[in-house]
Amino acid sequence: MENIAGKKPALSWAKNIAMAAMVLIWVIPTFGLLVSSFRDRDQISATGWWQAMLPVELTARARTGTEATPDGPLFRVEGNIFDDEEARSYFSGTPGDISAFGTRGAEPTTYLAGTTGDLGDGETLTVNADGSYVWITPEKPGSRGQRVYFAAESPPKLTLDNYRTVLSGDNMGRAFLNTLIVAVPATFIPILVAAFAAYSLAWMEFPIRGLLIAGIVGLLVVPIQLALVPVLNLHNDIGVGQSFVGIWLAHTGFGMPLAVYLLRNYMAGLPRDIIECARVDGATDFQIFTKIILPLSLPALASFAIFQFLWTWNDLLVAKVFLPSADEAKVMTVKIADDLLGSRGGDWGILAAAAFVSIAVPLGVFFSLQRFLVRGLLAGSVK
Amino acid sequence: MNPIIQGLATIILGVGGCVGYFYASNLLLDKVLYPAKGPNIASNIRRANIIRPWLFIFPALLVLTVYLAYPVVGSAYRSLFNRSGDEYIALGNYLALFESPEFRRSFLNNALWALFVPVVSVTAGLIAAQLSDTLKWGNIAKSLIFMPMAISFVGASLIWKFVYAVDSDIGLINAVLAGLFGAGPIDVIQIPFWNNFFLMFILVWIQTGFAMVILSAALRGIPEETIEAAILDGANPFQIFFRIKMPQIFSTIVVVWTTITVGSLKIFDIVYAMTGGNFGTEILPSYMMSFMFRDDGRATSVALVIMIIVLPVMISNIRQAQKELR
């Protein structure tokens, strides 16, 4: 195929561009979320994440000082607006230049910086770009200075504050732990159970073996929805109820058909000679399984482990049904879908950080073990 | 710290229990029940070998029966009873379903999902597979397109919620609309009917990588000679793709297609996280969840409808498996 493409440079160009466009569509949303999660709360609502590296114009408010010097019949107050604590609180770093100012909250940018604003009754206010101001008033200022609103550029700021908020408050740390507590046993137990079953279906002779294999293939597509009500009722009847034990058992059951199917396919492809030799040497099936089959099947076991881990870590439905709805028992997906998306719909920084906390582990697993994941997919779908 | 210890203990207990079961049951069989020694050594070994497969397969069969086989029957049975489960109402739940406009809408929406998602995912996956195989940076491109596979549906929904946001300082779509066309902000999640496609695209975004990986392997498995012969005969790249490659990977396309179709019938998370089923985006799984914990009779009847839709796939899979075993 390459030689054909090489003959037509135009086609090769088109291919590169098409591929790049597709990759961009696939990557940009995630990248945007990553950038957003590091941005300051005020900056997120002021400009898009694609402008994260540019300064942001923020409006702030402050008061002038009150130490007036008489200036003929008038009083003159001078100072720098950034000496006011309230003004500084709007800016995380050194604030940039002031572009405009005003004295009413509804119109914070009435006058351009450097010009003099007429406040009426002979009162004037001048604010320069660097923050220095001159306020001239006919009356001696009292204990409070003049209210000033102004717009100034704030330098781009990346912080870990969102992550700190997410992990410290609101039980998100606990949810992370819960997810781990659900996912790890729900990955290991089915592998072990399925490996034994797969071996017996691949290498042991017994009646109705073919029927069982066909049945397991059939169960591959049974919708989980079907199991929710009867299994939850069963759990309640036998005293398991909504608990971690319940969700492990449920995940074990729901992951079992794929596990047995994948592992059986793999084990059936192992060379017959090895197993026959071991049998002749007097090894029992248990020994053959633990000493020969299990080590040889490691790639398939790893593939399924990755699937099951991703599936249990990312699951929302099973967790919603089989875990208690109390806050301490929530996993991250439930936490995000129910709590954050509902009540904090507007706090984008927190949402982004929470999403990244929840997808960091699967992404790590994905990029480090992608090889096994691909192999598992192929074993399951292509003969 | 307590929950960590608790978690670790249960992991050890659970995994240890499984290992213990297999080890102890085999030990019991080999040493106590039918030891491979003494006067009846031959018959003992034979009997042990008859029983052993069942020891191996028993735990798997147990969970499969309890968690998947029994629920099919259990749900079918439960769906014949009323809300509290004490009164037999025959097909009452189903009749109520078919009369409900929300059910009809969910059903139609779900049909739309089952058509749109596989078509777009498989097409995009095929294009990505074909393009990436001929480019130098193809592997990186593949890895990036495959990445959403690792992201939860909830996480993916959140990622796209940012893209779809009405605020043009958050949402990329509205930023582009405002920047290029000066158009006012639109909430794509609330446009009647078309909002469904914006939700479906999230699933397409996730599933395309899956389709691409499998189809790319299938494309590479095509014998070189067939392509070389076509080149010698003067076929152009498009003819090679549609006339030579496509027919050879057709069976793989069918497998990928059905997998994605079945997947899109069961998806619940995206609709739940994006709209909660509002604005006419309800699909069967989310419609079912609106009855969960409230009306088990209705919930199970919706689940059974999903099962019936999936049934043809199930039957053809079983047939296929039986053919291969023979």
Q: Are A170 and A100 in a shared domain?
A: no
Give the β-pairing of A111-112 and A74-80: unpaired
The reply to whether residue A366 touches residue B318, judged by beta carbons under 8 angstroms, is no
Nearest to A253 among B66, B146, B273 (CB): B66
Q: Give which of A182, A193, A331 to mutate to test B binding, by max B Cβ within 10 Å.
A: A193
Flag whether pLDDT at A290 surpasses 80.
yes
Question: Which residue of A lies nearest to B62 if distances are taken between CA atoms?
Answer: A253
Arithmetic mean of pLDDT over chain A: 83
**Predicted confidence band at A176 (pLDDT cuts at 50, 70, 90)?**
confident
- Alpha carbon of A181: minimum distance to chain B alpha carbons (Å): 5
Q: Structural domain tally of chain A?
A: 3
* Residues 150-189 (A) with a CB less than 8 A from some CB of B: 174, 177-178, 180-181, 184-185, 188-189
Angle at Cα A247 formed by Cα A246 and Cα A248, nearest 5°? 90
Strands, E assignment, A48-115: 56-63, 69-71, 74-80, 98-102, 111-112
Residues A215, A110, single domain; the answer is no
How many CB pairs below 8 A link A and B? 361
CB < 8 Å & 24+ apart, contacts of A241-245: A242/A322, A242/A323, A242/A324, A242/A325, A242/A329, A243/A323, A243/A324, A244/A181, A244/A182, A244/A323, A244/A329, A244/B7, A244/B10, A245/B10
> Which helix H or strand E contains A103, and what residues bound it?
none
Interchain CB contact of A331 with B (< 8 Å): no
What interhelical angle do A9-37 and A348-381 show, nearest 10? Answer: 130
* pLDDT of amino acid A1: 47
| Closest C-alpha among A271, A110, A248 to residue A180 | A248
> Which residues in chain A have their CB less than 8 angstroms from residue B160's CB?
29
Domain that holds residue A337: 163-381
- Of B78, B135, B314, which has the smallest distance from its Cβ to A16's Cβ? B135
Q: Are residues A253 and A300 in the same domain?
A: yes
Give the closest of B64, B72, B213 to A216, CB-based. Answer: B64
Which tens digit of pLDDT belongs to each residue from A199-212? 999 888 888 888 88
Q: What is Dmax (Cα atoms) for chain A?
A: 116
Task: State how far the alpha carbon of A113 is from the alpha carbons of A86, A119, A127, in Å.
Answer: 19, 15, 6
A303-333 tens-digit pLDDT: 889 889 999 999 999 999 999 888 888 888 8
Q: Which residue has the tokens 């999902």?
A: B113
Verify whether the Cβ–Cβ distance A48 to B170 is below 8 Å: yes
ipTM over 0.85: yes
Q: Residue B67 is nearest to which of A250, A354, A373, comparing CB atoms?
A: A250
Q: Which of A343, A322, A295, A292 is nearest to A231 (CA)?
A: A322
**Residue the block writes with tokens 């047995």:** A260
Q: Which of A154, A189, A207 is the last residue of a domain?
A: A154
The DSSP call for residue A62 is E
Interface-testing mutation among B15, B31, B55, B56, with chain A (most A C-beta atoms within 10 A): B56
pLDDT tens digits, one per residue of A241-269: 888 888 988 999 999 998 998 898 888 88
Give the gap in angstroms from C-alpha B193 to the nearest C-alpha of chain A: 23
A110 closest CA partner among A91, A124, A130, A96? A124
pLDDT of residue A313: 92
Same domain for A126 and A215, yes or no, is: no
Give the domain-ending residue among A120, A154, A188.
A154
What tokens appear for A108 in the block? 């914070």
Which chain A positions have a beta carbon within 8 Å of B113's beta carbon?
A: none
Asked whether residue A347 falls in the same domain as residue A330, the answer is: yes
Helix (H, G, I), strand (E, B) or coil at B193: coil
Last-in-domain residue among A118, A136, A154: A154
For residue A378, give every residue at least 6 positions away whose Cβ sits within 8 Å of its Cβ, in sequence order, or none.
B213, B214, B217
**Under an 8 A CB cutoff, do A4 and B75 touch?**
no
CA triple A168-A170-A175, angle to 5 deg: 85
Q: Which A residues 281-320 touch B at CB under 8 Å? A: 284-286, 289, 310, 313-317, 320
Q: Are A299 and A375 found together in one domain? A: yes
Sign of the C-alpha dihedral computed for residues B178, B181, B184 and B186 taken in this order: negative
The yes-or-no verdict on residue A376 having pLDDT over 80 is no
Q: Quick one: pLDDT at residue A7?
A: 53
Q: How far does Cα B3 stand from its chain's mean position?
A: 31
Angle between helix B195-220 and helix B138-146 axes, rounded to 10 deg: 140
Verify whether the Cβ–Cβ distance B213 to A351 is below 8 Å. no
Report whether pLDDT(A340) > 50. Answer: yes
A236 and A377 both lie in a single domain: yes
B72 vs A222, A233, A383: nearest CB = A222
Q: Give the CATH number, domain containing residue A210.
A: 1.10.3720.10
- pLDDT at res. A94: 67
In B, which residues are within 8 Å of A260 by CB distance? 60, 64
pLDDT digits (tens, 9 = 90+) for A17-71: 999 999 999 999 999 888 888 887 777 777 777 777 777 777 778 888 877 888 7
DSSP B185: P
Contacts of A181 in chain B (CB under 8 A): 3, 6-7, 10
Chosen for mutation from B2, B6, B68, B172 (greatest number of chain A CBs closer than 10 Å) is B68
Does residue A360 share a domain with residue A214?
Answer: yes
pLDDT tens for chain B, 326 residues: list them: 566 777 778 778 877 888 888 888 888 888 887 777 777 778 887 888 888 888 888 999 999 999 998 999 988 888 888 887 777 887 888 888 888 888 999 999 999 999 999 999 999 999 999 888 888 888 889 889 999 988 999 999 989 988 888 887 788 888 888 888 877 788 888 888 888 999 999 999 999 998 998 898 888 888 989 889 998 988 888 888 888 888 988 888 988 898 899 888 888 889 988 888 888 889 999 888 888 888 888 889 999 999 988 888 888 888 888 887 77
Backbone angles phi, psi at A120, to 5 degrees: 90, 155
Q: Are residues A95 and A140 in the same domain?
A: yes
Kindly list the residues from chain A whose CB atom is less than 8 angstroms away from the CB atom of residue B302: 225
Q: Of A143-152, A213-222, A369-378, which has the strongest mean pLDDT? A: A213-222
User: What residues of A are in contact with residue B289 (Cβ under 8 Å)?
Assistant: 317, 320
A90 and A15 co-located in one domain: no
- Are A30 and B147 a contacting pair at CB < 8 A? yes
d(CA A85, nearest CA chain B) in Å? 28
Query: Which pLDDT score is estimated for B3?
Result: 64
Do A46 and A65 lie in one domain? The reply is no
Find the range with the poorest average confidence among A371-375, A377-381, B98-102: A377-381
Residue keyed to tokens 């098409």: A18
Residues A171 and A278 in one domain: yes
